[in-house]
Amino acid sequence: MASMRLAHVDSQDFNRAKAEFDQTKAGVKGILDSGILKIPNIFIHPPENLLNNPFPGEYSPNLQVPMIDLEGFEGGKEVKISEIRKASEEWGIFQLVNHGIPVSVLDEMIKGVQVFHEQPKEVKMKWYSREHKQQVKFYSNGDLYESKAVNWRDSVSCHYADGALDPNALPLVSRRAIQNYMERIINLKNTLAELLSEALGLDTNYLESMDCMKTATLVCHYYPSCPEPDLTLGATKHSDPSFLTILLQDGIGGLQVLQRNQWVDVKPVKGALIVNIGDLLQLVSNDKFKSVEHRVLAAPIGPRISAACFFYPSTANNSKPYGPIKELVTDEGGPIYRETDHKEFMSYYRLKGLDGTSSLSYFKL
**CA dihedral (134, 220, 130, 296) positive or negative:** positive
Question: Residues 272-301 vs ligand OGA: string with x where CB under 6 A?
Answer: ----------------------x-x-----
Q: CB of residue 72 vs ligand OGA: minimum separation in angstroms?
A: 29
| Secondary-structure breakdown of the chain: helix, strand, coil percentages, each rounded to the nearest 5 | 35, 20, 45
Which residues of this protein are in contact with Ni ion, per CB under 5 A? 240
Q: Which is nearer to ligand OGA, 68 or 219 (CB)?
A: 219
Q: Which is nearer to Ni ion, 239 or 340 (CB)?
A: 239
Q: Which is nearer to ligand OGA, 200 or 246 (CB)?
A: 246
**CA dihedral (105, 108, 109, 110) positive or negative:** positive
The angle subtended at Cα 51 by Cα 46 and Cα 53, nearest 5°, is: 155
Q: Is 244 in the site for ligand OGA (CB under 6 A)?
A: no
Q: Which is nearer to Ni ion, 165 or 219 (CB)?
A: 219
Q: Is 237 in the site for ligand OGA (CB under 6 A)?
A: no
Q: Is 240 in the site for ligand OGA (CB under 6 A)?
A: yes
Please report, for residues 23, 74, 139, 198, 246, the alpha-carbon distance to residue 79 in angstroms, rounded to integers and kept in the order given: 52, 10, 42, 12, 21
**Residues 216-235 close enough to bind ligand OGA by CB under 6 A:** 219, 221, 235
Measured distance CA(170)–CA(166) in Å, rounded: 8
Question: Residues 307-346 vs ligand OGA: string with x where CB under 6 A?
Answer: -x--------------------------------------
Q: CB of residue 9 vs Ni ion: minimum separation in angstroms?
A: 28
Q: Is 250 in the site for ligand OGA (CB under 6 A)?
A: no
Measured distance CA(359)–CA(241) in Å, rounded: 8
Please report, for residues 137, 339, 341, the alpha-carbon distance to residue 55 in angstroms, rounded to integers and kept in the order given: 39, 34, 35
Contact residues toward ligand OGA (CB under 6 A) are: 219, 221, 235, 240, 247, 249, 255, 294, 296, 306, 308
